[in-house]
């Protein structure tokens, strides 16, 4: 039992170090540079807003000037349909976002279970009955 208690601290510290190592972004940039850059590019693509075309507003004075000059035909502009590339990028960025949320959720749950294990270990150390004096392993 003493050995288990003695090793528990070391094992918990090792587990915390591994969790910190896996949540460090530098680890992924070092080991998976292209995947990391791709994820950053998709994130940037989703965060940067797309410029929307504004409606043209013509006041009465400008409209009357156009009508006096005989310019009564106005061209209607077509709204651009999204290209195949933009649709593919949107699908890929949504998939990456979902994967990122899942990854973070799993990491948070793992951290929570580590913290619970540490608390249980501390409680068991505090509440464990004292061993008899003459007993040694």
Closest CA to 8 of 126, 106, 136, 109: 126
Tokens of 80: 């651009």
| C-alpha span between 134 and 25 (Å, rounded) | 52
- Note whether 93 and 45 are within 8 A (CB): yes
Residue 102 has pLDDT above 80, yes or no: yes
- Residue 21 pLDDT: 82
Q: Minimum mean pLDDT among 45-49, 71-75, 112-116: which range?
A: 71-75
Model-level pTM?
Answer: 0.32
% of the chain at pLDDT higher than 70: 79
- Note whether 121 and 12 are within 8 A (CB): yes
| C-alpha span between 94 and 92 (Å, rounded) | 5
- Residue 75 pLDDT: 65
- Note whether 22 and 107 are within 8 A (CB): yes
């Amino acid at each position: 039992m003493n050995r288990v208690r003695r090793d528990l601290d070391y094992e918990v510290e090792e587990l915390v170090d591994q969790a910190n190592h896996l949540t460090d972004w530098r680890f992924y940039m070092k080991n998976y540079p292209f995947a990391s850059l791709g994820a950053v590019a998709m994130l940037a693509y989703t965060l940067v807003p797309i410029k929307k075309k504004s409606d043209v507003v013509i006041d009465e004075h400008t409209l009357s000037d156009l009508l006096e000059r005989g310019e009564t035909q106005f061209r209607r502009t077509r709204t651009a349909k999204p290209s195949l590339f933009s649709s593919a990028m949107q699908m890929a960025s949504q998939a990456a976002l979902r994967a990122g949320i899942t990854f973070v959720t799993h990491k948070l749950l793992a951290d929570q279970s580590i913290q619970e294990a540490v608390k249980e270990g501390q409680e068991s150390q505090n509440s464990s009955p004292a061993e008899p004096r003459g007993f040694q392993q």
